[in-house]
Amino acid sequence: MYALPSPSRTELLAELTAQATALSQIPNIEQLSVVHPPLEPLALPFSASLTALALFGWHLGGKTAPTALDSTLLSCDCCGRRLGLWSFTASPGRSLDVRAEHRAFCAYLATDVEGRPAWQARLQTASGKRQAGEENAQVRKLRRSEVLGKVRGMLGE
Ligand SMILES: [Zn+2]
């Protein structure tokens, strides 16, 4: 299965910024109702909707010609899903779910060995949060020193 690349934080922030900037050019994009998981602590200078769309790999789609982008379509390069924006903006109450709109096999939804979906790994990288593995190691180290402290206390050291 196709796996997403693991960019550095700088690379990923550049990618998200470029993608969100392109999306922000879509007419009436801010009227689109976007459903997404919490994005904290990621804070980009874009609306949460644009940030979520970029994080989940949705970009301006329909590359009908190298220079002409169809600004009525969003697409995902991983699963090939295309979304017609009109179908959301034309139906009041219809929201675009950045996660659920991917096809089930999409690499953005695929989980790593720790059961973490790829989009979440991107969120953690982009927000500068430590990788889950490193955090667990920190927690283990902390617990060990706490235990040692208690043992020392009991021994009256
Ligand atoms: Zn996808």
The percentage of the chain sitting over the pLDDT mark of 90, rounded to a whole number, equals: 52
Ligand 1 mean position, distance from CA 155 (Å): 58
Q: Are residues 53 and 47 in contact, defined by beta-carbon separation less than 8 angstroms?
A: no
Ligand 1 mean position, distance from CA 110 (Å): 10
**Distance from C-alpha of 51 to C-alpha of 73, rounded to nearest angstrom:** 17
In 10-128 the beta strands, taken as DSSP E runs, fall at: 34-35, 59-60, 73-75, 82-84, 96-97
Q: Which of 13-22, 69-78, 90-99, 121-130 has the highest mean pLDDT?
A: 13-22
Ligand 1 mean position, distance from CA 133 (Å): 26
Ligand 1 mean position, distance from CA 152 (Å): 53
Task: Answer whether residue 54 shows pLDDT above 80.
Answer: yes
Ligand 1 mean position, distance from CA 79 (Å): 4
Span 92-140, pLDDT tens digits? 889 999 999 999 999 999 998 889 999 999 999 999 975 545 555 555 5
Angle at 88 between CA 87 and CA 92, to 5 degrees: 115
Cβ-in-10-Å burial (0-12, 13-18, 19+) of 8 comes to: exposed
**Distance from C-alpha of 72 to C-alpha of 94, rounded to nearest angstrom:** 16
Decide which of 127 and 69 is more confident: 127
